[in-house]
């Protein structure tokens, strides 16, 4: 990548890393109670290592009532007892480090759980107390203080009186951009700042290498909390459902917080990472989060959302590279995570089809034959790009979204809060299949989300010894990315090589090709096949790449 700015973190590992997201509840269950745990992650460290990863990022592992699968933290300094103990967690950090893998954890600073001691103290202390000032309490006699809606459906304000039963709380409300069990912190309060500085040091002292920052664009709200353009029930407003724009989002004040945190991390070193989860559509504004004195990386959600649309993909790649170069930050690439429909299933719909509400058994279903081909091709193209690449657990097994979960099994608060309008995110959170036994794939007989009958056919143990399995394809791909230094490589489009629907680019001496058109593409003189997602043919210096297929040439 042609960088225009020199930074003090120029040579850091995270600039070209491959980072694997562990969603602990669903990763691996060591004691068979149906819930993933820390010992389960420890058991699979060699498996993770076999994917040539640089780091793992672990979604929230803290004590939590699980109103939002751990993104409602009731104690920031401990481990959820269902998952294990702090001693287990220390062992996990040590085991990962011994294998050359870094460990990132999930920092949830926009809100705590309503069961956090601070929120409980705030309720007990009464209106206008210093305890209440740590959260966003407001007085309003005329319904909610403004028209904001919760991301999970319904209003973003809840009344206080039903929680305390006290007369003095009549007409008092508290803000929760997410579920009512997730009250928003007041980032104007210095105690909140101090609390999170201490939190950072607590985990950095335990050896943590960095943090993925949840809702990084939400912490500071516009002065006076003005109404937004969407209104209180965002899931009933067509096409605007998950837009995170307006007075609650991406306010300039958030950057002061990240400068403050960066200076704490710098006490430990520039190798410590902050990664922004910020759904900010404008690549210019997103790049502001990764200026030298702020975060290290920001997830590139524009790329995740570009879909099977060659023009859009090109545009997103170009704009994110240009904006990140402006601030000297590496680009990140991501196709799946615990909040979106798994990408092989997304690509099984017409390009542009909206899967933001999740997929239920009675919704249109993806064409998995095509989705798997496109998903695999897109993965190969993505891992060839320079910068840092993220993968979400199970992606390496070729898992599709589970679209036939029984409605009564659903746990995502979105399903209830939208009055069953949006299915939500459970379909990408089903526990991973490790063993090929349908009665117990590794989570005992009662996994916390049920696994469909066909799940065992994706089992890691079956894929392990099959050289042609999806898992072994992923291993080869990531290893080759490392051998050819693609993460720290360069990028330039090769124009006109295969027509408008075929993206062809050069990264150092590797050529990346993805055929997003309908016809086979013939590419001559660009090198021979290093790895392919499908069946390409090679003769006399010409490589024939069928539709829905990617290849690296070199
Ligand atoms: C983003 C997380 O990725 C998501 O899972 C969670 O529900 C919200 N932030 C609220 O914390
Ligand atoms: Ca368990």
pLDDT of residue 1: 45
Ligand 1 pocket by C-beta < 6 Å: which residues? 68, 71, 108, 178, 214-215, 277, 338-339
Domain encompassing residue 527: 491-553
Same domain, 234 and 360: yes
Q: Does residue 182 sit within a domain?
A: no
The verdict on 463 and 336 lying in the same domain is: yes
Q: How confident is the model at residue 239 (pLDDT cuts 50, 70, 90)?
A: low
CB neighbour list of residue 3: distance below 8 Å, 6 or more residues apart = 325, 328
Q: Which atom of ligand 1 is nearest to the CA of 425?
A: 5
Shortest-distance Cα residue to atom 4 of ligand 1: 339
pLDDT at 2: 46
86 and 213: one domain? yes
Contact 22, 58 (CB under 8 A): yes
Is the pLDDT at 243 greater than 70? The verdict is no
Nearest to 50 by CA among 397, 369, 303: 397
504 lies in the same domain as 414:
no
- Judged by its nearest atom, the ligand closest to the C-alpha of residue 67 is 1
Structure tokens at 241: 């459902």
Give the rounded percent of residues in the chain with a pLDDT score beyond 90: 94
369 within domain boundaries: yes
- CB distance 61 to 70 below 8 Å: yes
Which residue is it, tokens 């006490």?
A: 267
Cα 214 to ligand 1 centroid, rounded to whole Å: 6
User: Among 21, 183, 215, 280, which residue has the most ligand 1 atoms within 8 Å of its CB, making it the best to mutate?
Assistant: 215
pLDDT tens, 87-145? Answer: 999 999 999 999 999 999 999 999 999 999 999 999 999 999 999 999 999 999 999 99
**Of the bound ligands, which one is closest to the alpha carbon of residue 242?**
1
Assess whether pLDDT exceeds 70 at residue 530.
yes
Q: Is the pLDDT of residue 241 over 50?
A: no
CATH number for 531:
2.60.40.1180
Asked if 154 and 200 sit in the same domain, the reply is no
Which active-site residues does the annotation give?
214, 267
Residues that place a CB less than 5 A from ion ligand 2: 29, 31, 33, 35, 37
23 CA distance to ligand 2 centroid (A)?
Answer: 13
Task: Confirm whether 180 is domain-assigned.
Answer: no
CA distance 330 to 323: 10
Closest ligand by atom to 60 CA: 1
Contacts of residue 167, Cβ cutoff 8 Å, sequence gap at least 6: 161
262-278 per-position pLDDT tens digit: 999 999 999 999 999 99
**Does the structure show a pLDDT above 60 at 493?**
yes
Integer CA distances (angstroms), 153 to 221, 417, 498, in order? 19, 5, 45
Confirm whether 202 is domain-assigned: yes
Indicate if 101 and 123 belong to the same structural domain.
no
Whole-number Å distance, alpha carbon 32 to ligand 1 midpoint, is 27
**What pLDDT shows up at residue 245?**
80
Indicate if 155 and 223 belong to the same structural domain: no
Arithmetic mean of pLDDT, 291-317? 96
**With 90 as the cut, is the pLDDT of residue 498 above it?**
no
Among 69, 71, 180, 211, name the best residue to mutate to test ligand 1's pocket (greatest count of ligand atoms within 8 A of Cβ). Answer: 71
Q: What is the pLDDT of residue 4?
A: 57
Does position 213 have pLDDT exceeding 70, yes or no? yes
**Same domain assignment for residues 18 and 135:** no
Average per-residue pLDDT for the chain: 96
The rounded Å distance from CA 103 to ligand 2 centre is 21
Are 103 and 18 within one domain?
yes
| Section 391-418 average pLDDT | 96
Interval 450-491: pLDDT, tens: 999 999 999 999 999 999 999 999 999 999 999 999 999 999
Which residue of 214, 301, 304 sits with most ligand 1 atoms within 8 Å of its CB, as the best mutation to test the pocket? 214
- Identify the helix (H) or strand (E) that includes residue 103: strand 102-107
Tens of pLDDT, residue by residue over 430-451, are: 999 999 999 999 999 999 999 9
Tokens 């269950």 sit on residue? 29
- pLDDT exceeding 70 applies to what percent of the chain? 98
Q: Give the mean pLDDT of 289-318.
A: 96
d(CA 254, CA 201): 20
Q: Say yes or no to pLDDT of 197 above 90.
A: yes
In this structure, the answer to whether residues 500 and 367 fall within a common structural domain is: no
Look up tokens 């404008």; give the residue. Answer: 282
């Amino acid at each position: 990548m042609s960088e225009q700015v020199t930074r003090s973190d120029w040579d850091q590992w995270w600039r070209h890393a491959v980072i694997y997201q562990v969603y602990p509840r669903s990763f691996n269950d060591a004691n068979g109670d149906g819930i993933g745990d820390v010992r389960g992650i420890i058991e699979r460290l060699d498996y993770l290592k076999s994917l040539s990863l640089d780091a793992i990022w672990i979604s929230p592992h803290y004590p939590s009532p699980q109103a939002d699968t751990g993104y409602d933290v009731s104690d920031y300094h401990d481990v959820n007892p269902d998952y294990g103990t702090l001693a287990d967690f220390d062992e996990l950090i040590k085991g990962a480090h011994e294998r050359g893998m870094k460990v990132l954890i999930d920092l949830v600073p926009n809100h705590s759980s309503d069961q956090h001691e601070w929120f409980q103290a705030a309720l007990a202390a009464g209106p206008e107390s210093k305890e209440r000032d740590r959260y966003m309490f407001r007085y309003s006699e005329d319904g909610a203080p403004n028209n904001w809606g919760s991301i999970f459906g319904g209003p973003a304000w809840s009344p206080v009186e039903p929680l305390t039963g006290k007369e003095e709380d009549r007409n008092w409300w508290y803000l929760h951009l997410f579920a009512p069990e997730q009250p928003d912190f007041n980032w104007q309060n210095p105690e909140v700042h101090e609390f999170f500085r201490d939190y950072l040091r607590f985990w950095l002292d335990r050896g943590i290498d960095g943090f993925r920052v949840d809702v990084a664009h939400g912490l500071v709200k516009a002065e006076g909390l003005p109404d937004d353009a969407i209104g209180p029930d965002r899931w009933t407003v067509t096409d605007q459902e998950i837009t995170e724009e307006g007075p609650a989002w991406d306010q300039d004040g958030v950057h002061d917080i990240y400068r403050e945190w960066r200076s704490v991390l710098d006490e430990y070193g520039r190798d410590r990472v902050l990664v922004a989860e910020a759904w900010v559509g404008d690549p210019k504004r997103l790049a502001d989060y990764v200026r030298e004195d702020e975060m290290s990386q920001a997830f590139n959600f524009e790329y995740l959302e570009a879909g099977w649309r060659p023009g859009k993909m090109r545009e997103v790649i170009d704009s994110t590279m240009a904006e990140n170069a402006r601030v000297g930050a590496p680009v990140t690439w991501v196709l799946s995570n615990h909040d979106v429909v798994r990408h092989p299933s997304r690509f099984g719909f017409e390009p542009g089809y909206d899967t933001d509400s999740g997929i239920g058994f009675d919704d249109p279903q993806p064409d998995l034959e095509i989705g798997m081909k496109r998903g695999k091709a897109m993965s190969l193209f993505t891992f060839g790009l320079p910068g840092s690449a993220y993968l979400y657990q199970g992606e390496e097994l070729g898992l599709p979204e589970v679209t036939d979960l029984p409605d009564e099994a659903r746990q995502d608060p979105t399903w209830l809060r939208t009055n069953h309008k949006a299915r939500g995110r459970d379909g990408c959170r089903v526990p991973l299949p490790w063993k090929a036994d349908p009665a117990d794939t590794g989570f005992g007989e009662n996994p916390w989300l049920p696994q469909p009958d066909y799940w065992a056919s994706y089992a890691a143990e079956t894929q392990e010894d099959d050289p042609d399995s999806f898992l072994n394809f992923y291993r080869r791909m990531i290893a080759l990315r490392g051998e050819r230094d693609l993460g720290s490589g360069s990028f330039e489009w090769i124009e006109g090589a295969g027509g408008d629907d075929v993206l062809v680019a050069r990264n150092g001496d590797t050529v990346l090709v993805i055929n997003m058109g309908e016809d086979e593409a013939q590419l001559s003189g660009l090198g021979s096949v290093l790895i392919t997602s499908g069946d390409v043919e090679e003769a006399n210096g010409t490589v024939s790449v069928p539709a829905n297929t990617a290849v690296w040439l070199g």
